[in-house]
Amino acid sequence: MNQNELSHSGEQAGAQAQSTGLTMEELLNQSELNLDMPRPGEMRTGIVASTANNEILVSIGAKSEGIISSREVEAMTAEEREQIKVGQEIQVYVVSPESTGGMMQLSYTRSKEDDDWSNAEELMKSKETYTGVVDGFNKGGLIVRVGRLRGFVPASQISQARRLRYKGDTPELRWEEMKGEPLSARVIEVDRERRRLIMSERAANQETREAMKERLLGEIAIGETRKGHVTSLADFGAFVNINGADGLVHLSELSWERVDHPSKLLKVGDEVEVKVISIDQDRKRIGLSMRQLQRDPWEDQITKYHVGQLVEGTVTRLVKFGAFARLDEHVEGLIHISELGEGHVEHPKEAVHEGDKLVVRIIKIEPDKRRIGLSLSKVDSAQFSDLDYAAAMAEMDQGDES
């Protein structure tokens, strides 16, 4: 305020004093109270007045200058200290409007944090992935710097792949070796007042996997053979990662052999070769098979069987429509309920039981469907008497040769 303005202000105050009945001192005090005084937590723009004694004095237009403490100045980087010069306009954070010495306490670092909070809020809004470095940890998870802020990645939000690599009962054993590692995460919560910044590596990875799956779905084709790694096992099959995207090998496609659970054949981390057997673009699902890359043992075993042949089988299971009997390690046939006896059979359990060893006749072979039809009622059938006689004679001739 220049001299003319001060004179004019004084004249106004004098006139107001006469009209209100207040003394000049009371009016000046009242005017002082009405000044735009800084409040704790405010951001203000000021001019650097001096940088002496490792402290920075800043004028922010109030009745006195504010100070950035020597402790904060010493914590600044050399580049930051070099940039702050007398006469320069800078943004500061009001820590306290007045200290014991009557000077406002200001913070340059806290003002820069305001930019970082704005950046964090923008990251959360845009759902953009932020890549930083693991700066530390506590018992609950990892710390990642976002500018000057400490972003927290709770253990529940750390990727499965990272958790599998580090094991231990204490935070030191679990997280110590992660310090310095790059980590990509999404900002999922920002609370300036509580100084709370929560991040999720899992959310970022999920977005990455979705993008990779989109790319893979665009380039993969049914019938292709790919290599991948087993990422997880479930009762219904195994998930295999191919170039960053997961496909499913259903339980029935793991092997030509009957498998009760994927863990009987695989473990997480195994490298496997798979064939692409289905692609669902709408549901973004990829069906894979390990079985179809293996030679079907049924094809080799079935060559020794023919229609009309008498064979020995073991009943493996009963169903409403018949009983299954295993002929050897790789070949199983069905005895239809109509072939279990001469008379009417209401349920297979009336004629056979699991574990029974029976002589049965092969009455049908369907190679394309991998099916063999068996009969218990036709074992002594006259229909096959000539065939049985020829088989018996061949067996006798073989015995004589030996």
Quick check: is 384 in a domain?
A: yes
Per-residue pLDDT, 4: 45
Listed residues 184, 206, 228: the one ending a domain: 206
Which of 326, 324, 342 has the alpha carbon at shortest distance from 379? Answer: 342
Token pair belonging to 363: 């009455």
Q: Which amino acid is at 69?
A: S
Contacts of 393 (CB under 8 A, 6+ apart): none
Number of H helices, E strands in the chain: 10, 20
Tell me, yes or no, whether 11 and 106 share the same domain.
yes
Tell me, yes or no, whether 379 and 313 share the same domain.
yes
Tell me, yes or no, whether 289 and 310 share the same domain.
no
Tell me, yes or no, whether 21 and 67 share the same domain.
yes
Tell me, yes or no, whether 314 and 394 share the same domain.
yes
Tell me, yes or no, whether 233 and 189 share the same domain.
no
Collapsing DSSP to helix, strand or coil, 380 comes out as: coil
* Sole residue written with tokens 């299971």: 317
**β partners of residue 360:** 311
Tell me, yes or no, whether 390 and 308 share the same domain.
yes
Which of 300, 166, 174, 278 has the alpha carbon at shortest distance from 221? Answer: 278
The segments of the chain whose pLDDT lies below 70 read 1-36, 62-64, 98-102, 164-167, 207-209, 381-402
Helices (H), 220-273: none
Listed residues 178, 206, 234: the one ending a domain: 206
Collapsing DSSP to helix, strand or coil, 114 comes out as: helix
Tell me, yes or no, whether 16 and 58 share the same domain.
yes
Tell me, yes or no, whether 139 and 68 share the same domain.
no
Which of 306, 362, 308, 300 has the alpha carbon at shortest distance from 334? Answer: 362
Quick check: is 215 in a domain?
A: no
Quick check: is 213 in a domain?
A: no
Per-residue pLDDT, 399: 52
Indicate which CATH number applies to the domain containing 239: 2.40.50.140
Say how far apart CA 364 and CA 56 lie, in whole Å: 97
Quick check: is 117 in a domain?
A: no
Domain hosting 15: range is 3-112
Say how far apart CA 347 and CA 72 lie, in whole Å: 88
Per-residue pLDDT, 391: 60
Per-residue pLDDT, 92: 84
Per-residue pLDDT, 324: 94
Quick check: is 121 in a domain?
A: no
Per-residue pLDDT, 335: 92
Quick check: is 70 in a domain?
A: yes
Number of domains in the chain: 4
Tell me, yes or no, whether 306 and 288 share the same domain.
no
Mind giving me the DSSP string for 31-88? HHHTS----TT-EEEEEEEE-GGG-EEEE-SSSS-EEE-HHHHHHS-HHHHHH--TT-
Listed residues 112, 136, 170: the one ending a domain: 112
DSSP 251: G
Per-residue pLDDT, 16: 46
Tell me, yes or no, whether 262 and 312 share the same domain.
no
Quick check: is 150 in a domain?
A: yes
Per-residue pLDDT, 13: 45
Tell me, yes or no, whether 327 and 280 share the same domain.
no
Quick check: is 261 in a domain?
A: yes
